[in-house]
Amino acid sequence: MQGNNTKAMSAHVEAIQALVNPKEVKPKMPKGASCKLDCLALLAHPKHGKHAGAHMARVHRLCWPKPKAQAKT
């Protein structure tokens, strides 16, 4: 039974790493941290993945887009 758990965990981590680590890096990608990549990395963690839903909800609640300034005419 423990062998099945390790196989499942390794397959899960490989699938998440395939999503997180792109094979081709586009030159137009921003160099800063991305919220989506942080969320995927958190999901891949064996202990923190359990609380990932609450964490992502909190992060997205705090990261509202800034309002664009309107030009006065």
Q: Which of 31, 34, 55 is nearest to 43 (CA)?
A: 55
Q: Note the pTM of the prediction, 2 decimals.
A: 0.26
Distance CA 69, CA 71 (A): 7
Reading the chain (73 residues) residue by residue, the pLDDT tens digits are 556 677 777 888 887 777 776 666 554 544 556 666 666 676 677 666 666 667 667 766 766 667 777 766 6
Maximum separation of any 2 CA atoms in the chain, in Å: 70
Contact 20, 37 (CB under 8 A): yes
Q: What is the three-class DSSP state of 55? A: helix
